[in-house]
A and B are shown apart, each in its own frame.
Chain A
Amino acid sequence: MTDKTNPLFDLTLALADDALVLGHRLSEWSGKAPMLEEDIALSNLGLDLIGQARLFYAYASELEGHSRSEDDLAYFRDAAAYRNLLIVELEIGDFAHTIARQFLYAAFVHPYFQALTKSKDARLAEIAAKAVKEMAYHVRHTSEWMIRLGDGTADSQRRMTDALEELWGYTGEMFEMSVGERALAGEGIAPNRAALQAGWNATVDAVLREATLMRPKDRGMQHGGRKGQHTEQLDHMLAEMQVLARQHPGATW
């Protein structure tokens, strides 16, 4: 079964890839976050995302008749076969960059999962019902840090401003839908991403205001992740994430 013939598989895989790639990025902070509490926090947030990714991969594997396992999908695809959003693959940068990315993404995916709990696809709905409770505190935790850093010292405000400027051009892709996803939305299986833009704007604007940060200007949006057109940062990340599985295929412990 190829990707082109099954929009439900495509969507499930894209949701899995978003969660795994961002989860792996968060795990890169383990042992080196600016303070112990945030080291534990970012690892915990990453663990949530990797747990969500596993549920989506397991379902994707079922949808294509188990021709590839959950692990095959995660460890034996190259970057060009990954369907994640570009925003989740960017390098972690400094703490402000990581928090800003997590906030911008969580502020989208929390309402997305809320909508997905009403999907006519029972499996996606039940995965979303678990994930939505976790993304609620991702939004809360990162909103608090947006405010602390934005309304903090001159240095923390500068770092947060730089992070927002760099990330802003990657936010538009969250609201884009492929032809297949549009068809799923018409059937009540997938949420309409574009319909979530106004709510996301409201969440983001409220936090930026509280954080005394300016909303960056729209200067065109990057896209291509859903078609496998990625930054080279994803190649580097996958090389590290996949090396063990590829050097010892089929290894168990």
Chain B
Amino acid sequence: MPTKKRTGNKKGKQSNFAKLSIFQPNKYKFKKSCPLSVKGAPEVDYKNIKLLKKYMSENGKILPSRITNVSQKKQRELSLSIKRARNLALI
């Protein structure tokens, strides 16, 4: 019985939150747009080392897209071009 009660509470909270978000849309938005698919964004290329280094950790690992908010398509391009640059020992 207690489990049922809990779920009921949760549902109630969610619906309240949804109502809040209608009235105050900006405060509760946490999503950022992809920095590489905006208009005027630089093209991902293995020669553009400055750009690639932004999306790598200090140890030379590729940062996950959940941290950098890069879109799935651009993340694929990034990882390919980072690996190309690694082969030429640019990074």
Q: Do A and B bind each other?
A: no
